[in-house]
Amino acid sequence: MVEYFYPDQQLHLPELSERFGLYSDRFIVRLKFEGGMGTCYKIEDENGKHYALKVIHSDLILNELSMLRYYEELKLWLTFSACDAVAEALSLTRINGIPCVVSAWMEHGDMTSLLQSKDKSLFYRTFDRIITGLKWVNDRYHVIHRDLKPGNILLDSENRASVADWGLAKLVSDGMSTVRNSATIKNAKASHLTQEGSFLGTIIYASPEQIMGRTDIDHRSDIYSLGCMMYEWETGRPPFVANTIEEIATAHVNTKPRKICGFLSSTNFKAESIIMKCLEKDPADRYQTYDEMLAALRTCAQKITSNFTPHVIKERSIPVNIGHDELIFRIKSENIGVVGSQNLSSVDFDEVEPYLKEALSLKTLGEYSKCAAIYSRLFFNEMISKFPDLYYNQHIAINYANCLNLLGKPQEALEVISTISDARVKPATYYVNLSNIYISSLEFQKCYETAREGLNKYPHDKDLLGNQTIALTELGRFDEAIRSANERLKYDHDIPAICEAAHIQYKQAESLKNTEFPKAVDLYKKALRLFKSALEINPAYADALYNVALILFKMKRYTDAMNFGSKISNIEHGTSAVNAFYAARNMLWVSAFESGLKFCDNWLKTYPDSIMLQRVRAEILVDGYVIDNYTKDGLPIVERSSLVFFSKIIKDEKHRIPTDLIFLAKIHCWMNEDAHIDYGIRLLEWGERNYPYNWKFNFYLAAFAHKYGDYEEALSQALKCKSKAPWRESIYSLLAKIYSAKGDEAAALRMRSEYARIKKEKDALYESCKNL
């Protein structure tokens, strides 16, 4: 497994610092703890206060089912954190692209430390609090825990219990098959500390119906688990201990637990009747409700303790069911705010603050549409423009714009964030998100200017340095980009910084591949190593995945490229339109037309306005289903949607790229009618004038001139092409054909010889890339 963080490492957590009003967003890693499905780190803020940072195991990141469950569990935990008997999840954040949850640090560890205590008051107080919390969750949300055990009950500095790990541990039915043939467990209690033991701990407290894999389990399964925990605290051992997991599971299903007390002996807590009722095999014979169990527990507690007080739930905040559109429902039903005549609302920010936290959590989980829906209900253009310096107005405008941009709507995002452009003091996040919008709009000069303006006010902001690096790279100012990237790396050696440095190497390689191919290959190698080092930290980081696939393709390692491409196609939460585009383009390049088309159609449902996805879809249709394809009558096939797309996009100066003209020209020339051929040639000539450094226009002009018998024009264009891209061997093959057509076989032979020389040199360079 990947080691995410190490002791004394500094982490950048702006979400957490913003919530607690901390001056610094730097947190220091102190300790590490492994769990069944995740890793927990103890982190410390500037004031010495501690928090728990939890993240899924790295070997589960590429498991789609595990990640889906992880996202849903994070939403549940955040939802239930309104209850004071649930371990509090404070915020979600992304570190190196991985969603992490920050929770309150529980100073006294878990309930295991209490099991030796004979304190009657502590016993009853602890279980009363746990059961009351489970009842609150079940009453409100109809959710059961399914993995109750001492290790999932955490204790604060006053030994107050809170229920934790809502599903982060593996379910019994998921893990049984993987451990059926495991080695004998010689010491069941000691093996709680092992990875296998963490699963054993689940079996020790699992209900019979859970072990049997029934799908209709309810809260009575958790009541059984509570009985197991009470039994262990009362007797010093769980109800069933055996040498193997299967023996324990079988005992839960078929064997009655040993009696807690004898005819003449008594127990410490006097709770044996409660415990044995919880441990009935048939759920119908247990307590049917938490209220029944609490009544019995409290009656017993009041008889044998003098200072027992039943726990009463105190809600930490307004309960919000994360991702269920409750804010929209409350506004529509006029349960919150005042709705005006134009459907504009005035709201009390104390009321909506839980929903702002919900929106941030949804954004972290990649649910941008739901996040934007919340912000859209709170975004009032006139009010925010009038009071752009108010914290909440800035928060809403910046984050709403961010969501719109992530949804592939940069123009709408620009309009939203512009509402606070007149603020006297703008936070660093304003400049970060504005420059992000310019990146999405491919306006890299504006991105650079915005990042520079922000860095003048916030010189150490790593995100601004990152966006400055991206802009300089795209503008071809590589030396400046390298200096910017190195400055960024001084503050944080995280995945975005690594990828930004890799992008510089890649872009430099792209600028040299046609004229200085050996140098380009060296740069591709450097970029590949950097992107792969990013994947060692997060194997599912989409930007690194698609760039590794892209570079492997350029190195002619097609099988390896498709393996990485298939990993990208499985990533769903948080995938941007850009990442989806590159994944689809890799499919195009290896001629996986059918899967590429399905992939584009799927992601265009999420990003219907993405020009990049529309473009690659059109390219797939042209190369896969139009060129060299005929109807039954022998007529060239023409696909309408691709023709419409390219015809429209070439008129859009802002979004047009050179290949758009080439693809449209290919379509028209393929129609094989004089008017269409003439129009295709004119498109290529127009492209040559507007993009004079692009060799492809000359290549296609030469190829079509050769096809239609204009050999002088073909030679002229091919020689221009050769001067622009001397390392493109296809040019020499075309020149050989042109010289042969002109009757100059000596020149044709020289071109064939040159083709063979360049191909040999390039093949040797490709061979040097195989073991990277």
Secondary structure string (H, E, C) spanning 419-445:
HHCCCCCCCHHHHHHHHHHHHHCCCHH
What span, in angstroms and rounded, lies between the C-alpha atoms of 452 and 47? 32
Split at pLDDT 50, 70, 90, the class of 334 is: low
What pLDDT shows up at residue 2?
67
Query: What is the SS3 assignment for 40?
Result: strand
Residues 25/462, Cβ–Cβ less than 8 Å: no
b/e for 317-329, b at 16 or more Cβ within 10 A? ebbbbbbeebbee
More confident residue, 91 or 281: 281
pLDDT in tens, 692-702: 999 999 999 99
What's the whole-number mean pLDDT along residues 324-334? 68
The C-alpha angle with vertex 62 and arms to 57 and 63, in degrees rounded to 5, equals: 85
Which stretches of 459-561 are assigned E, i.e. beta strand?
Answer: none
b/e for 427-438, b at 16 or more Cβ within 10 A? bbbbbbbbbbbb
Q: Spell out the domain ranges in the chain.
A: 10-104, 111-304, 599-767
- C-alpha closest to that of 614 among 569, 585, 588, 645: 645
Residue 238 has pLDDT above 80, yes or no: yes
CATH code matching the domain that covers 10-104, chosen among 1.10.1750.10, 3.30.200.20, 3.40.50.80, 3.30.70.80: 3.30.200.20
* Crossing angle of helices 290-304 and 120-141, rounded to 10°: 160
Level-2 CATH architecture, domain 599-767 = Alpha Horseshoe (1.25)
Q: What are phi and psi of 201, to 5 degrees?
A: -55, -35
Residue 343 has pLDDT above 90, yes or no: no
What pLDDT shows up at residue 349?
64
Residue 339 has pLDDT above 50, yes or no: no
Walk across the sheet containing 50-56 and list its strands: 10-12, 26-34, 38-44, 50-56, 98-104, 89-95
Do 111-304 and 599-767 show the same overall fold? Answer: no
CA 480 from centre of chain: 30
What span, in angstroms and rounded, lies between the C-alpha atoms of 235 and 378? 56
What is the average pLDDT score of the chain? 87
What pLDDT shows up at residue 567?
66
More confident residue, 224 or 191: 224
Residue 216 has pLDDT above 80, yes or no: yes
What's the whole-number mean pLDDT along residues 700-710? 94
What's the whole-number mean pLDDT along residues 329-343? 55
Residue 414 has pLDDT above 70, yes or no: yes
More confident residue, 566 or 503: 503
The model's pTM is: 0.78
Query: What is the SS3 assignment for 56?
Result: strand
Residue 177 has pLDDT above 50, yes or no: no
What pLDDT shows up at residue 571?
56
* Crossing angle of helices 444-457 and 462-474, rounded to 10°: 150
Task: Please identify which residue in the block is written with the tokens 């961010």.
Answer: 402
Query: Side chain identity at 720, as an amino acid letter?
Result: K
pLDDT in tens, 29-83: 999 888 766 889 999 998 999 999 998 887 777 777 777 778 888 888 888 999 9
- C-alpha closest to that of 609 among 407, 315, 420: 407
What span, in angstroms and rounded, lies between the C-alpha atoms of 238 and 197? 14
Cβ neighbours for 768, distance < 8 A, ≥ 6 positions apart: 521
**Burial tier of 266 (Cβ tally within 10 Å: 0-12, 13-18, 19+):** exposed
What pLDDT shows up at residue 191?
30
Residues 403/422, Cβ–Cβ less than 8 Å: no
- Does domain 111-304 fall into CATH 3.50.50.60? no
What's the whole-number mean pLDDT along residues 719-746? 96
**Of the candidate ranges 394-403, 459-468, 596-605, 759-768, the one whose mean pLDDT is the lowest:** 596-605
Q: Cβ of 464: how many Cβ atoms within 10 Å?
A: 26
DSSP state of 170: P
What span, in angstroms and rounded, lies between the C-alpha atoms of 470 and 653? 22
What span, in angstroms and rounded, lies between the C-alpha atoms of 398 and 420? 9
What span, in angstroms and rounded, lies between the C-alpha atoms of 436 and 472? 14
Residue 195 has pLDDT above 60, yes or no: no
Residues 540/513, Cβ–Cβ less than 8 Å: no
What dihedral do alpha carbons 596, 600, 603, 609 form, nearest 10°? Answer: 160
More confident residue, 289 or 638: 289
- C-alpha closest to that of 501 among 465, 538, 537: 465
Residue 183 has pLDDT above 90, yes or no: no
What's the whole-number mean pLDDT along residues 276-283? 96
Q: What are phi and psi of 344, to 5 degrees?
A: -95, 140
Split at pLDDT 50, 70, 90, the class of 182 is: very low
DSSP state of 102: E
CA distances from 344 to 334, 340, 376, 377, 379 (A): 12, 5, 11, 8, 9
What's the whole-number mean pLDDT along residues 311-326? 82
Query: Side chain identity at 343, as an amino acid letter?
Result: N
Query: What is the SS3 assignment for 220-235?
Result: HHHHHHHHHHHHHHHH
What pLDDT shows up at residue 565?
64
What pLDDT shows up at residue 262?
56
**Of the candidate ranges 221-225, 283-287, 352-356, 501-505, the one whose mean pLDDT is the lowest:** 352-356
What's the whole-number mean pLDDT along residues 266-270? 86
Residue 178 has pLDDT above 70, yes or no: no
Residues 367/402, Cβ–Cβ less than 8 Å: no
Share of the chain above pLDDT 90, in %: 59
Residues 133/115, Cβ–Cβ less than 8 Å: no
What span, in angstroms and rounded, lies between the C-alpha atoms of 765 and 401? 45
Residues 555/524, Cβ–Cβ less than 8 Å: yes
What span, in angstroms and rounded, lies between the C-alpha atoms of 307 and 556? 76
Split at pLDDT 50, 70, 90, the class of 320 is: confident
What percent helix, strand, coil does the chain show, rounded to 5?
60, 5, 30
What span, in angstroms and rounded, lies between the C-alpha atoms of 213 and 230? 24
More confident residue, 552 or 68: 552
- C-alpha closest to that of 226 among 206, 203, 252: 206
Q: What are phi and psi of 121, to 5 degrees?
A: -60, -40
What pLDDT shows up at residue 277?
97
What dihedral do alpha carbons 553, 557, 563, 565 form, nearest 10°? Answer: 0
What span, in angstroms and rounded, lies between the C-alpha atoms of 163 and 86? 5
Q: Which two tokens stand for residue 726?
A: 């001397």
- C-alpha closest to that of 226 among 133, 106, 120, 87: 133
What span, in angstroms and rounded, lies between the C-alpha atoms of 428 and 455? 8
Q: Which two tokens stand for residue 626?
A: 């139009």
Q: Which two tokens stand for residue 151?
A: 């290790």
Q: From the DSSP assignment, how many helices (H) and strands (E) are in the chain?
A: 34, 10
Residues 14/25, Cβ–Cβ less than 8 Å: yes
pLDDT in tens, 98-151: 888 899 999 999 999 999 999 999 999 999 999 999 999 999 988 899 889 999
What's the whole-number mean pLDDT along residues 640-657? 92
Query: Side chain identity at 491, as an amino acid letter?
Result: Y
